[in-house]
C-alpha cells in the first residue's frame, strides 16, 4: 500500500463528506449568523423592570410634557406625554434625544477650577468659598454692580433666586439671553399695556402668514406648532411663508413668497397700507377696541409702503402684495407671526410692531385664533428682601447692557450690547459673570470681537452640565444636574396661548457630583451672610420650591403640570383701555427703517443669511442623534455646506460641492458649496449650530459657526439684537 497523491485526495474527499454529514457546517453557519445579528459591542439596554416617569422637558422654552421610559435605573426612551396640553404626545428631535445628554461623555462630573489654563477638580466647598471671597471683596470695594448674571430664562424659582441674589448683593445686571419673545413682549407692553408673553392660537387660525418664522424649524414650542400646522390643514386653512429661502417651513407652506431677506417689516407695513387704503380692516373691532388708527394711517399710507414700493423692497410683484393683503383680510381668523427662523434673534421692535398692528387691524388680538397676551406667572410671591446701603446703591447704577436706560427705556435685557460695554475702559465693567444657560461664548454673534470682550471678564463662573464653549472659557465650572436629574418649575410654554406651569423632576438620581444652580445660590448667600443670607430663608432649592408653590406643589407633583383651561385674555391695560396704534411711548421710538446687512456692498457682493434647522441646537450642543441625522446638504463629513443659487455659482465659477472660502467683515471660513434653486440669487445660506469649539467628539470640529461670521446689529428702536445677515464674499478655495 502506498500513500500517494490519490490517497491524500481520498482522505480529503472523505473528510469533506464526513464534515457535510456532521453538524459542524450547519451549526457554524447558524452561530455566525446569530453573532452578526447581535454584535456583542452594540449597546443593548439592560433587561429589567420597565417604569415610566412623567416630567417636563427644559431643553428649550417649550416646556413639553415628557414620559421617560426607564429599564431599572437607566433612561432608555423619552416620549411626549399624551395628556399634556402643550405637546399632546408630540416631541421634538432634541427632546427625544435628551437621554444622550444625560449619558453624554462631555458632562462635567464635579466642580472644576481653571489653573494655568487647565481645569482641575475642586470640592464644592472650595469652589463656592473662593467665589464668595471674590464677591465679598467687590462688595467691600463698593462695586457690587460689577457682577452680572446671564441666564436663559427669567422665570421660575431658579431664575428668580439668581435675580434675587444679585438684587440683595447690589447688582441690577441680571440678563436673560435674547429671543423673539423680547420684541413681542415689548410690543405687547407698548400697545396693550400688558406685561405678558405672546401666545399664538395657531390651532384655530385659518390663515397663517409667517414672516420668516421657521414654524417647522424650532419656532415656538415645536410639537405644539407641528400640531397647529396639522389643524390648519384640517380646517382648510391657508399657510403663507414669506422667506428668502425655501426652508422646510416654506416647502410645506401653501404658498412661498421668496422675499428679499430683511424686508419682512416692509412687507408688513405694505399689507397694512393695502388694508387701510382699501378699507379692509375689521371695522367693528378697530372701532371698539383700538385707538390711534389715524396715526397708523399717517405712518402706513406713506408712499414708501405703497404696493409698488413694497414690491421693489421685497422682490415680489405689486399684485402679489395686494392679493396677499386681501386674502389675509378676507380670512375668517387670520394670524401673522414673525421672529426669523427658530426665533433666537429678537429682530427689530418696529418690525414686530408692524406685524402686531396687522393682527390688530383684522381683529386677531386677544381672540380665538389670534395673538394672545399670556400673563406672566404669579406664583412666586416672596417678601421683598431687605437691602443694605451697598446693595441699594449698587441697584441704582445703570445696567451694564443699557436696558431700561433713557435710550432704551422699554428693553429689559440687552445681552447683545454687553460685548461693546465690556470693551470700554481699562477695566471691564463686569468683574464677575455667572452664566446659567445661554452659552454666550457660542451663541452671540460678533465673532472674535465678542469673544475678546467676554474674555476680559476676570472671573467667569459657568453652571453648565456640559463642557460647552462658555464652560471651556470659564474660570470655574459648577456643574448643574441635567434636565433629567433635578427639580425645576417650568412656567409657560413658548408661543402657547394659555398660562401653563410644568414641573420637571429627577427621573434618575444625579449621575455625578453636580449641584442645582439654585442650591449654589443659597450656599453663596449663606457664605456672604448679613442681609444676603437673610433674603434666602430656604434650606434647599427643593424646599424653596415646595414652599413657593404651596398647595400647588402636591398637584404639580402628582399631575406634572397645571394649565388654566378656561383662560380668557385680560382686557387691555393702556390708558385708553384699548389697543393703541399710537401713544407717547410709541412715538418716542426710532421710526421704522429696514436694517441693512452690515458691510460694504461694493467689497462684499453677496449676503450671508443664517438659517435654523431642528437638527441643530443653539446654546446647547446638539446630541449625537441629531448630528447623525443632519442632511448632506448641510454637513458633508466635517465640512459645512453653504447654499447658493446656481446662477450665483455660475457668476462665481463654483460647481456643486466645490471648496470655497466665505469672507465677511467679521471673519472668514472654509466651506463647501451646495447649489439649490431654493435660495434667492445673491444670497449665501448657512445653517446655525455647527463650528463648535468645545463639546464631544460627535459635534466638535464640524463645520463653522455662522455666529463667528455675523455681526451684532442693534435695533435703533429698542436696542435688541436685530441682525438677519451680513455682506459676504465667496471665492473658490
Partner 1 sequence: MEEPKSSAPSSRSEPGQGGQGDGAGGAIILFFILGLAASLLVGWVAFPALLYSEKRQPVDFNHALHNEIVDHGCASCHFFRADGGFSGAPKLAQCIECHREANSDDPEEIRFVEEYVKPGREVPWLVYARQPDCVFFSHAAHVRLGGIDCAVCHGPMGESTSLRPYQENRITGYSRDIWGWNIAGIKRNSWDRMKMDDCAECHAQARVPGGSVQTQKDGCFVCHK
SS3 per residue for 314-370: HCCCHHHHHHHHHHHHHCCCEEEEEEEECCCCCCCHHHHHHHHHHHHHCCCECCCCC
Cβ-based neighbours of 423, under 8 Å, separated by 6 or more? 449, 452, 453, 456
Based on CB atoms, which residue is closest to partner 1, 6 or 558?
A: 6
Q: Does the footprint of partner 1 cover residue 1 (CB under 8 A)?
A: yes
Q: Closest distance between partner 1 and the C-beta of residue 433, in Å?
A: 46
Q: Does the footprint of partner 1 cover residue 573 (CB under 8 A)?
A: no
Beta strands in 604-682 (DSSP E): 606-611, 635-636, 639-644, 659-664, 667-675
Q: Which stretch binds partner 1 (CB under 8 A): 38-46, 156-164, 604-612, 631-639?
A: 38-46
Closest CA to 164 of 681, 620, 535: 535
Q: Closest distance between partner 1 and the C-beta of residue 41, in Å?
A: 11
Q: Which stretch binds partner 1 (CB under 8 A): 28-36, 132-140, 427-435, 558-566?
A: 28-36
| Longest alpha-carbon distance in the chain | 122
Based on CB atoms, which residue is closest to partner 1, 16 or 115?
A: 16
Q: Does the footprint of partner 1 cover residue 8 (CB under 8 A)?
A: yes
Based on CB atoms, which residue is closest to partner 1, 31 or 332?
A: 31
Based on CB atoms, which residue is closest to partner 1, 38 or 236?
A: 38
Cβ-based neighbours of 474, under 8 Å, separated by 6 or more? 114, 435, 460, 461, 462
Q: Closest distance between partner 1 and the C-beta of residue 19, in Å?
A: 5
Based on CB atoms, which residue is closest to partner 1, 21 or 591?
A: 21
Q: Does the footprint of partner 1 cover residue 118 (CB under 8 A)?
A: no
Q: Closest distance between partner 1 and the C-beta of residue 68, in Å?
A: 15
Strand, coil or helix: what is 68?
Answer: strand
Residue from the set 32, 141, 287, 543 that interacts with partner 1 by CB under 8 A:
32
Q: Which stretch binds partner 1 (CB under 8 A): 42-50, 312-320, 376-384, 618-626?
A: 42-50
Q: Closest distance between partner 1 and the C-beta of residue 66, in Å?
A: 19
Phi-psi region of 437 (alpha: psi -120 to 50; beta: other; left: phi over 0): left
Backbone angles phi, psi at 661, to 5 degrees: -120, 125
Q: Does the footprint of partner 1 cover residue 647 (CB under 8 A)?
A: no
Cβ-based neighbours of 216, under 8 Å, separated by 6 or more? 222, 225, 226, 229, 247, 248, 249, 252, 614
Q: Which stretch binds partner 1 (CB under 8 A): 47-55, 187-195, 359-367, 640-648?
A: 47-55
Report the residue count for the chain.
733
Phi-psi region of 300 (alpha: psi -120 to 50; beta: other; left: phi over 0): alpha
Distance, CA of 586 to CA of 583 (rounded, Å): 5
Q: Does the footprint of partner 1 cover residue 76 (CB under 8 A)?
A: no
Q: Does the footprint of partner 1 cover residue 73 (CB under 8 A)?
A: no
Based on CB atoms, which residue is closest to partner 1, 32 or 288?
A: 32
Contact assessment for residue 391 and residue 419, using Cβ atoms and an 8 Å cutoff: no
Residue from the set 18, 398, 529, 537 that interacts with partner 1 by CB under 8 A:
18
Instruction: List residues bridging with 679 in a β-sheet.
Output: 245
- Report which DSSP code applies to 145: G
| Residues touching partner 1, count (CB under 8 A) | 35
Residue from the set 41, 44, 116, 509 that interacts with partner 1 by CB under 8 A:
44
Order across the sheet with 500-504: list the strands: 488-491, 500-504, 561-563
Based on CB atoms, which residue is closest to partner 1, 21 or 584?
A: 21
Q: Does the footprint of partner 1 cover residue 23 (CB under 8 A)?
A: yes
Closest CA to 364 of 454, 285, 451, 287: 285
Q: Closest distance between partner 1 and the C-beta of residue 15, in Å?
A: 4
Based on CB atoms, which residue is closest to partner 1, 15 or 230?
A: 15
Residue from the set 46, 50, 332, 424 that interacts with partner 1 by CB under 8 A:
50
Q: Does the footprint of partner 1 cover residue 279 (CB under 8 A)?
A: no
- Binding residues for partner 1, rule: CB under 8 A, are 1-4, 6-8, 10-19, 21-24, 27-28, 30-32, 34-35, 37-38, 40, 44, 47, 49-50
Amino acid at each position: 500500500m502506498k500513500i500517494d497523491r490519490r490517497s491524500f485526495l481520498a482522505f480529503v474527499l472523505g473528510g469533506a463528506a464526513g464534515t457535510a454529514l456532521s453538524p459542524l457546517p450547519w451549526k457554524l453557519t447558524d452561530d455566525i449568523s446569530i453573532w452578526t445579528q447581535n454584535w456583542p459591542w452594540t449597546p443593548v439596554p439592560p433587561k429589567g423592570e420597565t417604569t415610566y416617569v412623567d416630567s417636563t422637558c427644559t431643553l428649550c422654552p417649550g416646556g413639553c410634557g415628557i414620559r421617560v421610559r426607564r429599564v431599572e435605573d437607566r433612561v432608555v426612551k423619552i416620549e411626549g406625554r399624551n395628556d399634556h396640553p402643550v405637546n399632546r404626545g408630540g416631541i421634538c428631535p432634541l427632546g427625544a434625544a435628551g437621554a444622550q445628554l444625560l449619558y453624554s461623555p462631555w458632562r462635567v462630573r464635579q466642580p472644576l477650577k481653571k489653573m494655568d489654563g487647565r481645569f482641575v477638580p475642586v470640592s464644592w466647598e472650595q469652589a463656592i468659598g473662593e467665589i464668595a471671597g471674590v464677591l465679598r471683596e467687590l462688595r467691600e470695594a463698593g462695586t457690587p454692580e460689577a457682577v452680572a448674571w446671564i441666564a436663559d430664562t427669567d422665570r421660575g424659582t431658579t431664575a428668580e433666586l439668581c435675580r434675587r441674589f444679585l438684587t440683595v448683593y447690589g447688582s441690577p445686571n441680571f440678563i436673560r439671553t435674547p429671543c423673539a419673545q423680547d420684541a413681542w413682549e415689548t410690543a405687547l407692553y407698548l400697545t396693550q399695556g400688558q406685561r405678558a408673553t405672546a401666545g399664538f392660537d395657531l390651532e384655530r387660525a385659518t390663515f397663517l402668514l409667517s414672516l420668516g418664522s421657521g414654524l417647522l424649524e424650532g419656532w415656538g414650542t415645536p410639537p405644539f406648532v407641528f400640531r397647529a400646522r396639522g389643524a390648519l390643514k384640517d380646517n382648510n386653512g391657508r399657510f403663507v411663508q414669506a422667506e428668502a429661502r425655501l426652508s422646510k417651513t416654506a416647502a410645506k407652506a401653501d404658498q412661498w413668497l421668496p422675499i428679499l431677506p430683511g424686508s419682512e417689516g416692509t412687507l408688513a407695513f405694505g399689507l397694512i397700507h393695502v388694508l387701510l387704503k382699501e378699507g379692509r380692516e375689521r371695522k367693528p373691532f378697530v372701532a371698539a377696541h383700538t385707538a390711534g388708527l389715524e396715526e397708523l394711517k399717517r405712518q402706513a399710507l406713506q408712499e414708501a409702503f405703497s404696493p409698488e414700493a413694497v414690491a421693489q423692497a421685497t422682490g415680489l410683484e405689486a399684485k402679489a402684495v395686494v392679493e396677499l393683503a386681501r386674502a389675509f383680510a378676507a380670512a375668517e381668523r387670520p394670524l401673522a407671526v414673525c421672529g426669523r427662523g427658530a426665533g433666537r434673534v429678537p429682530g427689530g421692535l418696529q418690525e414686530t410692531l408692524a406685524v402686531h398692528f396687522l393682527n390688530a387691524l383684522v381683529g386677531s388680538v386677544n381672540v380665538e385664533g389670534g395673538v394672545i397676551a399670556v400673563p406672566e406667572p404669579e406664583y412666586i410671591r416672596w417678601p421683598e428682601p431687605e437691602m443694605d446701603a451697598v446693595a441699594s446703591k449698587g441697584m441704582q447704577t445703570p445696567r451694564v447692557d443699557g436696558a431700561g436706560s433713557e435710550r432704551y427705556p422699554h428693553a429689559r435685557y440687552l445681552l447683545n450690547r454687553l460685548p461693546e460695554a465690556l470693551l470700554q475702559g481699562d477695566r471691564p465693567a463686569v468683574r464677575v459673570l455667572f452664566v446659567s444657560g445661554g452659552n454666550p461664548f457660542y451663541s452671540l454673534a460678533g465673532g472674535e470681537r465678542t469673544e475678546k470682550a467676554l474674555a476680559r471678564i476676570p472671573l467667569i463662573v459657568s453652571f453648565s452640565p456640559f463642557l460647552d464653549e462658555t464652560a471651556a472659557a470659564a474660570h470655574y465650572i459648577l456643574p448643574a444636574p441635567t434636565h433629567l436629574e433635578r427639580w425645576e418649575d417650568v412656567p409657560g410654554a413658548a408661543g402657547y396661548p394659555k398660562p401653563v406651569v410644568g414641573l420637571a423632576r429627577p427621573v434618575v438620581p444625579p449621575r455625578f457630583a453636580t449641584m442645582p444652580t439654585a442650591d449654589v445660590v443659597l450656599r453663596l448667600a449663606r457664605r456672604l451672610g448679613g442681609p444676603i443670607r437673610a433674603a434666602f430663608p430656604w434650606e434647599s432649592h427643593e424646599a424653596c420650591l415646595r414652599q413657593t408653590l404651596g398647595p400647588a406643589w402636591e398637584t404639580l407633583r402628582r399631575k406634572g403640570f397645571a394649565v388654566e383651561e378656561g383662560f380668557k385674555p385680560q382686557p387691555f391695560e393702556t390708558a385708553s383701555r384699548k389697543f393703541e396704534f399710537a401713544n407717547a411711548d410709541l412715538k418716542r421710538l426710532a421710526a421704522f427703517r429696514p436694517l441693512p446687512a452690515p458691510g460694504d456692498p461694493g467689497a462684499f457682493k453677496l449676503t450671508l443669511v443664517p438659517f435654523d434647522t431642528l437638527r441643530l441646537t443653539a446654546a446647547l450642543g446638539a446630541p449625537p442623534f441629531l448630528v447623525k441625522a443632519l442632511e448632506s446638504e448641510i454637513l458633508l463629513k466635517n465640512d459645512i455646506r453653504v447654499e447658493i443659487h446656481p446662477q450665483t455659482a455660475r457668476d462665481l465659477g463654483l460647481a456643486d460641492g466645490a471648496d470655497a472660502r466665505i469672507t465677511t467683515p467679521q471673519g472668514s471660513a472654509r466651506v463647501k458649496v451646495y447649489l439649490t434653486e431654493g435660495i434667492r440669487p445673491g444670497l449665501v445660506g448657512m445653517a446655525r449650530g455647527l463650528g463648535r469649539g468645545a463639546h464631544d467628539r460627535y459635534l466638535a470640529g464640524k463645520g463653522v459657526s455662522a455666529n463667528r461670521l455675523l455681526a451684532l446689529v442693534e435695533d435703533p428702536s429698542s436696542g435688541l439684537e436685530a441682525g438677519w445677515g451680513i455682506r459676504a464674499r465667496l471665492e473658490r478655495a
